[in-house]
């Protein structure tokens, strides 16, 4: 994770948070245009995320929920004014794009598959987002209608020749997507934190909720391919996760949804 030391506190930072971070070094660790992320070098470390107003409400809810289950950061403050601000503790350890984990890809593949299966077996009866699948499908439908099509999201094995072809697959198969597990929603290597190969927690859970397991499986496979520069761990990941719950035909439907962002 790249960290750039800031010379001053952002001007629009809420006063309550300014008082909390006063005197600490603040680093910009942003990696997406959708949000600014700052590391606060104080104590064991904190993270502060800033995005457009209302954009971090669900992430605040789901981060609190994951923390209550024992595998997430603690939410210290969520403020929504002209922008959204979310302050959390840092999860101890390193994300899975750290060199020590990428250097042992087989173990990494097996580890994130096992941890995903454990997440999906967690009780979700009190989850604040009870039907993430409906939101997920509605988002894909909206983006198709507005021409938001990103072919580059697909692994080669799930490629579609056009937006129409992907949309037809999605419409024909969308009823196969169920809301039956606690979903991370963006199960990529940078969002999985390990401490000496043991799970320390998950971050960036704003797309989480009760949803279809194949969304997380898809992104786990995709992230291994993207970060390891090879697709050869696809089958190994499914074996480690458990073929009894992983259906390749449903992964193709998820791929058709994901191409619409």
pLDDT, position 31? 81
pLDDT, position 8? 79
Are the CB atoms for 29 and 2 separated by under 8 Å? yes
In the set 84, 186, 212, 216, the catalytic residue is 186
pLDDT, position 53? 95
pLDDT, position 112? 98
What is the assigned CATH class of domain 4-89? Answer: alpha beta
Question: How confident is the prediction along the chain (261 residues), in pLDDT tens digits per residue?
Answer: 678 898 778 778 999 999 999 899 999 998 877 889 999 999 999 999 999 999 999 999 999 999 999 999 999 999 999 999 999 999 999 999 999 999 999 999 999 999 999 999 999 999 999 999 999 999 999 999 998 887 665 555 667 888 899 999 999 999 999 999 999 999 999 999 999 999 999 999 999 999 999 999 999 999 999 999 999 999 999 999 999 999 999 999 999 999 887
Is the CA virtual torsion 126, 207, 245, 199 positive or negative?
negative
State which H helix or E strand residue 84 sits in.
strand 83-89
Cα separation values, 188 from 29, 33, 49, 97, 235, Å: 17, 17, 18, 9, 17
pLDDT, position 252? 93
| Region 94-258: CATH code | 3.90.1200.10
Alpha-carbon dihedral 29, 188, 186, 18, rounded to 10 degrees: -20
Q: What angle do CA 91, 95, 99 make, to 5 degrees?
A: 140
Interatomic CA distance for residues 236 and 114, integer angstroms: 11
Known catalytic membership, residue 186: yes
pLDDT, position 211? 97
Domain ranges of the chain: 4-89, 94-258
């Amino acid at each position: 994770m790249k960290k750039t030391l800031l010379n001053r506190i952002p001007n629009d930072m809420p006063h309550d948070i300014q008082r909390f971070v006063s005197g600490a070094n603040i680093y910009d660790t942003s990696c997406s245009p959708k949000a600014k992320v700052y590391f606060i070098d104080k104590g064991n470390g904190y993270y502060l995320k800033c995005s457009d107003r209302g954009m971090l409400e669900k992430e605040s809810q789901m981060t609190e929920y994951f923390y209550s289950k024992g595998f997430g950061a603690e939410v210290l403050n969520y403020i929504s004014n002209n922008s959204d601000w979310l302050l959390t503790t840092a999860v101890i350890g390193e994300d899975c794009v750290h060199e020590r984990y990428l250097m042992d890809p087989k173990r990494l593949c097996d580890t994130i598959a096992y941890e995903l299966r454990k997440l999906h077996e967690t009780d979700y009866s009190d989850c604040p987002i009870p039907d993430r699948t409906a939101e997920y499908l509605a988002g894909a439908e909206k983006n198709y209608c507005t021409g938001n099509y990103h072919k580059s999201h697909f692994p080669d094995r799930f490629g579609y020749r056009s937006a129409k072809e992907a949309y037809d697959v999605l419409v024909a198969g969308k009823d196969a997507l169920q809301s039956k597990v606690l979903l991370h929603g963006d199960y990529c290597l940078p969002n999985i934190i390990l401490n000496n190969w043991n799970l320390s927690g998950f971050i960036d859970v704003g797309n989480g909720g009760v949803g279809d397991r194949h969304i997380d499986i898809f992104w786990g496979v995709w992230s291994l391919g993207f970060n390891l520069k090879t697709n050869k761990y696809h089958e190994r990941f499914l074996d480690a996760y458990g073929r009894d719950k992983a259906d390749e035909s449903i992964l193709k439907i998820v791929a058709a949804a994901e191409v619409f962002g």
